[in-house]
Structure 1
Amino acid sequence: MLKRIAAVLLVVLSLTLTGCLGGVVGLKSYINSYDGYQFLYPNGWIPYNASNGPNVVLHDLIEQSENVSVVISPLETSKTLSDLGTPGEVGYKLSKSAIAPSGSGREAELVNAEAREGGGKIYYLLEYIVKLPAQSRHNLASVVISRGKLYTFNVSTTEKRWAKVKNQFQQIIDSFSVY
């Protein structure tokens, strides 16, 4: 009887663990222990050597315009995200300073802004539609402050592919964490 109960528990546990892993199939882990962050990214994405400031950039080998990046910016004074503003206010500021600054030829529309808590830290999750001269793009960003630095994690694709990758990109943006 005890063996039967143990066998049933083993089957239930293995099915439960398989179900938990099902959400991240096709994603790999990226860990930067020096700068203290981690995230998931799709198989088949490779590093891109960007010289314009991101800490890391990965892009799809096939759909090369799909990418993920992390930008780490020092803060003049140690602040919290709420000191910088609400999710909507920070999202708007980010759109004007980094995503579509004046003279860039880009327009950014903030379509969603919310806060979430994870690991004792507050993250602002931001969603944008970015219009460029030749195409429209869809960006998701996660912003967090840790150790006196502002971390901005961004994942981006063309608007044309957004419907196909939306769920996976949501998993990627939700996976970003600092420690």
Structure 2
Amino acid sequence: MADMLMEDQRVLVIEDEYVVAEAIERTLRRAGAIVLGPVPSVDQAMALLDRGGRIDSAVLDINLGEQKVYPVVDRLLARGVHCVFSTGNDVADVPSNYKGIARLEKPVEESSIIDALKKTDTNAGGPVANIHKHTYLLQLREQLTVQINMADSIHEPLLAARLYEAVDAIDQFLKV
């Protein structure tokens, strides 16, 4: 019986190659994880996120058909989900704001997936710390968007405009 390193951890798998998705799912289940998915597309991943529920971590392929997984990554990071890329993409192809996310090159060894999901960064200025700052800003942006919708619904355009300014400031900071 496999070591239960990830017992009761809810792991989302986003992968469009069936054989690869099955291998990742098998690896995670043997480690005791509860696997969500696998899902093969950005649309299906977004639908799963819309349903809510706890997600502790995610293993994501960057290329999903003609789409990139980055909109899903942004939502996951905004929720504080630990992400790991499982991809054939070169590190140079990953946008700078995602450089701190662990990148496993396909074909991925079973132990590498578990190790990457369990790894934490204790260095306050390290790449995971930067991801946490990015995550915090994405969470704040999501909360502001909700408040903008509320301000619009109660006919408070000045409040909505000020909240939009805050969202714009976050967007500018995230582009740096």
Which structure has greater strand proportion? Answer: 1
Which structure has greater helix proportion? Answer: 2
Q: TM-score, normalised by structure 1?
A: 0.26
The structure number with the bigger radius of gyration is 1
Q: TM-score, normalised by structure 2?
A: 0.27
